[in-house]
Amino acid sequence: PTRPYVIEEMISAKTIAARIEALAKDIHDAFEDTDKLIVVGLLRGSFVFIADMVRELDLPVEVDFIEASSYGNSTESSREVRILKDLRGEIQGRDVLVVEDIVDTGYTLKHVVGLLNAKGPKRLKTVALLDKPSRREVDIKADWTGFEIPDEFVVGYGIDFAQRNRNLPYIGAVRFLEDEA
Ligand code: PRP
Ligand code: MN
Ligand code: MG
């Protein structure tokens, strides 16, 4: 259904792992005094990042998920964030860390942060593995960012192109093969 493409490695699995270790230390320091940190992953893209992140976080942690979707099978944001699955647990008065794979236009993270803040958490912070600041359309920035990247369509480490390539262990850039005909 999509044009043929190849994937060029952009950020290696090793580089990602080292960055997550450093992020986890910073997050630990920010929430050091917490009785429990509720780590909320945004499905589906963050499933790999949250799995690696919580295993580096030396804190009492509860894991929860929200499913938000704005891209569907398109490369273009719909700018309408649909919540397909809400949190299981309560976050009122709790410490919350939202874990997102990538901030692009910013609609997804901004929408979810707005919804969660309305529930009255004690502290709410956000971490995104990737940030594409050149694509931002709404005013939002994660409290912690793994890597700032240029405006490239990326896949892997949880991130899909039309639901494919989420299982790549690294972050890659999609390169479309031009028709030679
Ligand atoms: C992707 C990605 C982020 C969001 C970022 O999710 O995982 O959640 O888009 O884009 P934005 O900043 O422009 O909103 P997608 O809607 O593709 O759902 P998925 O996580 O299930 O792939
Ligand atoms: Mn997503
Ligand atoms: Mg997607």
**Catalytic hit among 95, 101, 104, 131:** 104
| Ligand 1 pocket check for 44: Cβ under 6 Å | yes
- The pLDDT score that the predictor gives to residue 180 is 53
- The pLDDT score that the predictor gives to residue 29 is 98
- The pLDDT score that the predictor gives to residue 71 is 77
Residue 78 CB partners (closer than 8 Å, separation 6+): 70, 71, 72
Fold topology of 13-151: Rossmann fold (3.40.50)
Best of 47, 80, 102 for a ligand 1 pocket test (most atoms within 8 Å of beta carbon): 102
- The pLDDT score that the predictor gives to residue 179 is 62
Best of 69, 82, 101, 108 for a ligand 1 pocket test (most atoms within 8 Å of beta carbon): 108
ipTM of this complex > 0.85?
yes
pTM for this prediction: 0.95
CA atoms within 13 A on the CB side of 152: 18
Distance in angstroms (rounded) separating the CA atoms of residues 83 and 80 = 10
Distance in angstroms (rounded) separating the CA atoms of residues 164 and 181 = 26
- The pLDDT score that the predictor gives to residue 40 is 98
Q: Which residues pair with 97 in a beta bridge?
A: 39, 125
| Ligand 1 pocket check for 170: Cβ under 6 Å | no
Among 124, 157, 123, 153, CA closest to 19: 157
- The pLDDT score that the predictor gives to residue 1 is 65
Give the residue extent of every domain in the chain.
Answer: 13-151
- The pLDDT score that the predictor gives to residue 79 is 87
| Ligand 1 pocket check for 15: Cβ under 6 Å | no
Q: What is the DSSP string of 71-88?
A: -TTSSS--S--EEEE--S
Cβ 128 vs Cβ 101: under 8 Å: yes
**Residue minimizing CA distance to atom 4 of ligand 1:** 108
Q: What is the mean pLDDT of each run of 10 residues along the chain (181 residues)?
A: 91 98 98 98 98 97 94 81 95 98 97 97 98 98 98 97 97 88 51
